[in-house]
Amino acid sequence: MKARRSNDWGFPRWRDYGGGRAPEAQRLCDRHGCSEPGLCPAPKAPNKPDRWYFCEAHAAEYNRGWNYFDALSDAEAAEQAEAEQAGARAYERAKHWSWGEGDGSRSRAEMDALRLFDLPPDADEAAIKSAHRREAKDNHPDLNPGNPDAAKRFQAAQAAYEVLRVAAARRAEAAAKPAKQR
Ligand SMILES: [Zn+2]
């Protein structure tokens, strides 16, 4: 049975739709690009009940260390963990954040992400993509087996890039809408 991430995101035991059709559907590993079953829970951030679900290999990689959230205050980490959750709830909430106001300002989560890439506050999409590609390539676990520092940097880069990507998409959507709504 092919597991489908979209069915299982969030509250797999409380599924309203399709629950009867695929009761054995499995949650997938939350690591981007991994299609193994996600059976190992791992806290998303300190002091938060939210969990990632990874396959064994990625849970081990995750548990070797993650210092991205350590650099943030608890409140920021909580906010960021929410921002990184895929799905309508995060997008709904993002509508009320400070981005997309037309002045080009970035949220604190974005500023933290840019700092991780050593990029200036006004870095453009090309610079962000290039920095992310470089970090991901330099620190990829496949090329750095048994190197916990590289694993940490790799995961931090993935998380930071996701923050920037989601925010940019949100801004683009906000910029495209007003003409129709006004
Ligand atoms: Zn995995």
Cα of 14 from ligand 1 centre, angstroms: 24
Distance CA(64)–CA(49), nearest Å, equals 20
74-177 folds as Helix Hairpins (1.10.287)
Q: What is the pLDDT of residues 149-174, one digit of tens each?
A: 888 888 888 889 988 998 888 888 88
Delimit the domains of the chain by residue range.
23-63, 74-177
Predicted pLDDT of residue 22: 47
Cα of 140 from ligand 1 centre, angstroms: 14
Closest Cα partner for 40 from 21, 27, 22? 27
Q: What is the pLDDT of residues 35-82, one digit of tens each?
A: 888 888 887 766 667 788 888 888 887 777 655 555 455 666 666 666
What 3-state DSSP class applies to 40? strand
Contact 50, 85 (CB under 8 A): yes
Closest Cα partner for 29 from 39, 19, 15, 44? 39
Q: What is the pLDDT of residues 107-124, one digit of tens each?
A: 888 888 888 888 888 888
Cα of 122 from ligand 1 centre, angstroms: 34
Residues with Cβ within 5 Å of ion ligand 1? 29, 31, 34, 36, 55, 58
